[in-house]
Amino acid sequence: MFVEPDISMRQHSDELRHLINETIDKHGGWIGFDQYMQMALYEPGLGYYAAGSQKFGVEGDFVTAPTIGQLFAYCIANQCEEVLKLEGCDSILEFGAGTGDLAAQILQNLAERNQLPNRYQIVETSADLRARQESCISELGSDMSVRVEWLDTIPPSISGIVIANELIDAMPFKRFEIADGGQCVELGVTLKDQNLGWQRGSSLDLPDFFTECAQGYQSEWCPQAAAWVNTVAERLQRGLILLIDYGFPDFEFYHPDRDQGTLMCHYRHHAHSDPFFWPGLQDITSHVDFSALARAGKNAGLELLGYCTQGDFLISSGILECVQKRIEQSSNDEEEKQIHEQLSLAAEVKKLTLPHEMGELFKVMAMARGIQQIPNGFTRSNKRHRLLND
C-alpha cells in the first residue's frame, strides 16, 4: 500500500499538475509522453529531480549502487585509474551525480593511490541535487574538493573518463503502440474529466531495428539517449565513456513477449506502472536499449570496447579483493565489530552482484576514442557482440 503524501507534498504535486494541464490545453489537448515526463521530472522547482524531496536511499524512493556502500565506488575507481594513467586522459566527467557519494568515494580511492585527476567535473541540472553534492564533496580534504567543479552543460572538450551511472534511464522517452495494420502510433497524454490519461497521437517513424510485433504491442523509444551519446562523442578528444544502467540489447528490449514495454515508476520503494500518480513526487523510468547507444557511438566514431552484466564487471574490477582487504583491516577490532563488518560486506556484495538483485539486470558498457585496449572491468566477460549485428 502506498504511503499518502502529506498536505505540502500534495499541494506541490497539484501545482505541477495544474501546469501540465495548462500545457496540454495550449497544445490542443495532447502532448507527447516525453514532454510530460520532462515536466514531471525536470520542471524547475516542481519536477521530481528539480525539487527538494529525498530521492535516494532508505528514506527516499529507490536505492542506487553508490548509496549501498563503498564497494561499487572502489570498482569504478579502478576503471578510472586505468584510464587516468593514459597520456592526455587527466579528467573525470560525471553526469547526474545524485547525492555526490560516488564522486566523493572515487576521489578518496584515487587519492589513496596517488592518482587524482586534474579535474572532476559534474554536469548537474538540478539545483537541489547540486547543493547536496556540494555538501558531500565539501567534507573531503581540500586537495580533493578543489578539483571538483559543477557544470550546467557538457564541456566543449573532454579528455579522460566519462561516468554515467543510471543516467540514461531517466531521460524522457517516447511511448508507442502498434495499431491496426501494423502502423506505429505515438502514445501521448491528454485530459479525461480533468484527469491525466493516455491517448493515441499521430504515426511515429521509428528506426528500423525492432522486431515486428502484433497489434496492441507497446514500448518505448528514447532518441534523447542517442543524441546524448553523439554530443559526448563529438567532444571526446581521447578517453572512455562508462555507462551503468539497467536494460537490454534491442532484440531483448523489443521482444514480442515484452508487449507492455518497460515503463516503471518508483514511489517510496514501491514500483508500479502509473506515470500519472502524484506528478513530481515519483520517479519515472524505462530500461535502456544498449544496442541503440552502441549504434549511436559507432556512428559518432567511437569504439565499443565492452558490455557485460554489473556482477561480472564488479568481479573483474576487484570487488572481492576489496572485501578481503576490508576484512583484514578490521582484524584487530572487537569480535562483534568484525562480525558486523563481514555481514555488512557480504550483504553489499550480494546486492550488487547476484543475478536476482542488481547483478544481472544492470549492465555496464564502455565506448572509447583513442583507446583500443579492453578495459579491465570486462576481462571476466565481454558480450559486446550482442549489441551490434554488423
Report pLDDT digits (tens) over 147-160.
Answer: 999 999 999 999 99
Give pLDDT, residue 51.
77
The most confident of the ranges 61-65, 248-252, 294-298 is 294-298
Q: Is 305 exposed, middle or buried (0-12, 13-18, 19+ CB in 10 A)?
A: buried
| Cβ atoms of residues 134 and 122 within 8 Å | no
Average pLDDT over residues 87-104: 95
Close Cβ partners of 305 (under 8 Å, ≥ 6 residues apart): 240, 366, 367, 368, 371, 372, 373, 374, 375, 378, 384
Angle between helices 71-84 and 335-353 (to 10 degrees): 70
Position 390 scores a pLDDT of 54
Given this model, what pLDDT does residue 218 score? 94
Closest CA to 280 of 14, 4, 3: 14
pLDDT of 58 strictly over 50 = no
Q: Say yes or no to pLDDT of 56 above 80.
A: no
CB atoms within 10 A of CB 271: 12
pLDDT of residue 61: 52
Q: Work out the average pLDDT over 228-249.
A: 98
Q: Is 363 helix (H, G, I), strand (E, B) or coil?
A: strand
Separation of alpha carbons 173 and 226, rounded Å: 11
For residue 52, name the pLDDT band (cuts at 50, 70, 90): low
pLDDT above 70 coverage of the chain, percent: 95
For the CA atoms of 82, 84, 85, 88, the dihedral, rounded to the nearest 10 degrees, stands at 140
CATH of the domain spanning 27-378: 3.40.50.12710
Mean pLDDT of the chain: 92
| pLDDT tens digits along 271-306 | 999 999 999 999 999 999 999 999 999 999 999 999
C-beta of residue 137 within 8 angstroms of C-beta of residue 100: yes
Give dist(CA 243, CA 308) in Å, integer.
11
DSSP character at residue 62: B
From CA 218, how far away is CA 300, in angstroms rounded? 29
Q: Which has the closest alpha carbon to 296: 241, 244, 251, 256? A: 241
Q: Using CB atoms within 10 Å of the CB of residue 230, give its burial: 0 to 12 exposed, 13 to 18 middle, 19+ buried.
A: middle
Backbone φ and ψ for 190, nearest 5 degrees, come out as -135, 180
pLDDT in tens, 318-359: 999 999 998 888 777 777 888 888 999 999 999 999 999 999
Cell of 113: 593511490
Does residue 132 carry a pLDDT above 60? yes
**Per-residue confidence band for 57, with pLDDT thresholds at 50, 70 and 90:** very low
Question: C-alpha angle 197/98/65, rounded to 5°?
Answer: 95
Contact yes or no for 328/290 (Cβ under 8 A) = no
Q: 132 or 268: which carries more pLDDT confidence?
A: 132
Provide the edge-to-edge strand list for the sheet that holds 283-285: 270-272, 264-267, 283-285
In 3-state terms, what secondary structure has residue 222? Answer: coil
Cα of first residue to Cα of last residue in the chain, in angstroms, is 47
Is the entire prediction scored with pTM above 0.85?
Answer: yes
Q: Would you call 168 helix, strand, or coil by DSSP?
A: helix
